[in-house]
Amino acid sequence: MEPKKLVEVMNILLVGATCGVSMAHVVPMLRPFLKYGKTLDKGDALPTYVGVYVPKRWFLHFYQLHVALSCMSFFLVWVVGEKGWNDLHVLTLFNLLQSSRRLYECNNVSKFSAHAKMHLTHYLVG
């Protein structure tokens, strides 16, 4: 896919995600999807369609996948891309560093309680 087309697709996805979160704030039926962590523990009676939760420690999988994909993209940029440093090299390096930092934090710094849960949609979106 050519870079210009890829940017268009990413912009469409970003606008779609922004619209989805905005709708969840406006439409009362969708507001429970925004509750997690401390806002979830208030004993609210949540509808059954919101009741799919996963342990928060599962979020580690997201960063493991992110590091793997970042390594692959970094490697591909260096092997297939232009020689020398350019913006793409710097961006993939920073993406790899950021994903590695977040994986380290999730693994070694953040200690999720055994009862901490997040909604399945939060887990899938990342």
The tens digit of pLDDT for each residue in 96-118 reads 999 999 999 988 888 777 777 77
Residue 7 falls within a domain, yes or no? no
Rounded alpha-carbon distances, angstroms, from residue 120 to 15, 60, 107: 21, 14, 20
Residue 10 falls within a domain, yes or no? no
Residue 72 falls within a domain, yes or no? yes
Q: For tokens 């009362």, what's the residue?
A: 28
For 45, the domain range is 35-125
Residue 49 falls within a domain, yes or no? yes
What does R_g of the chain's alpha carbons equal in angstroms? 18
Entry pTM: 0.61
The tens digit of pLDDT for each residue in 12-67 reads 887 887 887 788 778 877 777 776 666 655 555 556 656 677 887 887 888 898 89
Number of structural domains (the chain) is: 1
Residue 21 falls within a domain, yes or no? no
Residue 4 falls within a domain, yes or no? no
Residue 82 falls within a domain, yes or no? yes
